[in-house]
A and B are shown apart, each in its own frame.
Chain A
């Protein structure tokens, strides 16, 4: 079966750094996506990795290791507005997105 695992909830402090991990087992791999979703809103795209390594985009970075079936999203200089759910999704051999349940990130002052 296909499976995406990520922690249910994490808490971090404003101004700090947090790493959200994602492990996956899918039928084929054609890229991994991270999306941000605020409560009651639609997901918005954050990052895309298809090759091993780190992709940096401002305060957000995403890392991929295909051999380990592992990715993480790194958020630096946390702001209160970063409080949201972070969804990991893998595009499988049929180019369909398989979604994790999301990690709810709580930022405390």
Chain B
């Protein structure tokens, strides 16, 4: 399977703990996006990378959130000192900077529950 993969698929953590999620994009894609989605809402943009460079970060994103893509391949999203409001589905997507075809391919997501 050469699609986008995310690990873990589910994470339950206690408030105040740190969590880290991993995303492996489609291998030839140089753009990688992180989104957060809550029930009944569309995905909310968090940040995106082109290769290893983090080009944009949502102004709504707390300093507790950080993302890396050290070698321009996989990416990690860390949430420090989790809060109950962080409970959501965290989606990763990748795309190829090719002409005007920027369709984003999504991974299965990591569902975070903060208790």
Residues of A within 8 A of B (CB): 4, 8, 30-31, 33, 41-45, 48, 50, 87, 89, 91, 94-102
Asked if residues B108 and A97 are in contact (CB atoms below 8 Å), the reply is no
- In B59-107, the 8 Å CB interface with A consists of 91, 100, 102-107
B residues bordering A, Cβ < 8 Å?
Answer: 40-45, 48, 56, 91, 100, 102-109
- Report the nearest B residue to A8, measured CB to CB: B40
Q: Which residues of A contact B48 (CB under 8 A)?
A: 96
Report whether A102 and B42 are in contact in the complex, using a CB–CB cutoff of 8 Å.
Answer: yes
Q: Nearest residue in B to A89 (C-beta to C-beta)?
A: B42
- Given contacts A94-B56, A96-B48, are A101 and B102 in contact (CB under 8 A)? no
**Given A31-B100, A43-B106: A97 and B45 interface contact (C-beta under 8 Å):** yes
* A48–B56 CB distance below 8 A: no
A101 in contact with B103 (CB, 8 Å): no
Residue on B with the closest CB to A33? B103
Main secondary structure, interface of B, reads loop
Q: Is the CB of A91 within 8 A of B42?
A: no
- Whether A44 contacts B40 in the complex (CB less than 8 A), given A96-B45, A97-B45, comes out as no
Nearest 6 Cβ contacts at the A-B interface: A99-B42, A42-B106, A101-B42, A99-B43, A43-B106, A101-B41
Alpha-carbon distance between A91 and B100 when the two chains are bound, in angstroms: 11
* Interface CB pairs A-B, < 8 A, 16: A8-B40, A30-B100, A41-B108, A42-B106, A43-B43, A43-B106, A45-B103, A45-B105, A87-B43, A91-B102, A97-B43, A98-B45, A99-B45, A100-B42, A101-B42, A102-B41
Complex CA gap A88/B91 in Å reads 17
Contacts of A50 in B (CB 8 A): 100
- Residues in B whose Cβ lies below 8 Å from that of A95: 102
Kindly report which residue of chain A lies nearest to residue B31, judged by CB atoms.
A95
B91 contact set on A, CB distance < 8 A: 42-43
What's the least CB distance linking A55 to chain B, in Å? 13
A62 to chain B, nearest CB (A): 13
